[in-house]
Amino acid sequence: MDPVPLATGPGAPIAEARYSRQALLPGFDAAGQARLAASRVLVIGAGGLGSVTATYLAAAGVGTLGIVDDDLVEVSNLHRQVIHGERDLGRAKVDSAADRLGQINPRVRVVRHRERLDETNARALIAAYDIVVDGADNFATRYVVADACVLESTPLVWGSILRFDGQATVWWPPAGPCYRCVFPSPPPAGSVLGCAEAGVLGSMCATIGAACSTEALKLIAGVGRPLIGRLLVHNALDQSYGEIPLRPNPRCALCGSEAMVTTPGEGILAACAPPEPVGERLSPSDLQALLTHDDLVLVDVREPDEWASGMIAGARGIPLGTLATAGLPDGDVVLYCAGGVRSAEGVRILRKAGREARDLAGGIAAWRAEGRAAEAAPGA
């Protein structure tokens, strides 16, 4: 394969000892290392995938690494976002990441973009880099990044993880499809869980993040066969890997012959935005006070495999997908889920069917955060 055209000039002098093992590989000799030193890679997110990807790109000698993130380090990040430590709690993730990358390889220039990437700044940010690695955790950002990369003719290395599953590919038309070719529109709000709702095995970030960093290095050096037109899928529970072929959509609104998208996220951002909660939302204290009421109908709308981790006492398990046909008894209906996304959608479903309901803001995570107990599900 041909290497990615670089937007920068000659790279910095090679530190032979540092890269000696890598330099034994075809494509990573002195000329290849100079290409790495001259390259500019933008990493979207300093979270789980971004931590791993940025670490290995810095160690390999990528000359400029841009990190986009507007978030702060929280304790719940630490099990998977390994670029941060306990002493970084409360710091901006871009600052924590930049400090760590500087320790790994002080020859790498780290550019901190402490801002949220959206449709107003995506093209300007991406235009300054040769390759983008997307480790975003939400659909709105994924579509904006994917659109901007096509509009700027920039290859996009993409990874996604959830629970025990991961995916990776390279979106780069016309050599292969773009993100919208395969996913022309986002899923309905609340239909796909995030890590905060469904959980994630931290080491999945290492598996998929390593695949993403390898793809970026291959594109820079011009070696091997990149994941263009192929979706790598991995399941950690049976340690399996597979591939799904991906094809361009000639009618794609972004890269097809009749493309209409000229602004990142055009026509799609409203669908990605979470819907506003409907009506009153209960706090854990509010729900605690209701648990003694005889007419309370408390419903856990998570999936059955989530109930084993514990349910609020007195709750009945009814997955969100079957809620509309569940035939709930008369009473004061209160829904809850893991973090409050699915329960809010459940309230909308029931109200559309003419049944009043409320939900627990923050879900069972908020309930537990206040030290309240959750008991094992019946039969678990």
Strand, helix or coil for residue 18: coil
Contacts of 343 (CB under 8 A, 6+ apart): 301, 335, 336, 337, 359, 360, 363
Beta bridge partners of 334: 298, 358
Beta bridge partners of 113: 68
CA–CA separation, 91 and 87 (whole Å)? 9
Helical packing angle, 93-104 and 48-60, nearest 10°: 30
What does the CA dihedral 354, 198, 187, 191 come to, rounded to 10 degrees? -20
Give 47-115 as a DSSP string.
SHHHHHHHHHHHHHT-SEEEEE---B--GGGTTT-TT--GGGTTSBHHHHHHHHHHHH-TTSEEEEE-S
- Strand ranges of the sheet holding 281-282, from the earlier edge strand across to the other edge: 281-282, 358-360, 332-336, 296-300, 316-317
Residues labelled as active-site residues:
195, 337
| Segment (H or E) for 367 | helix 363-369
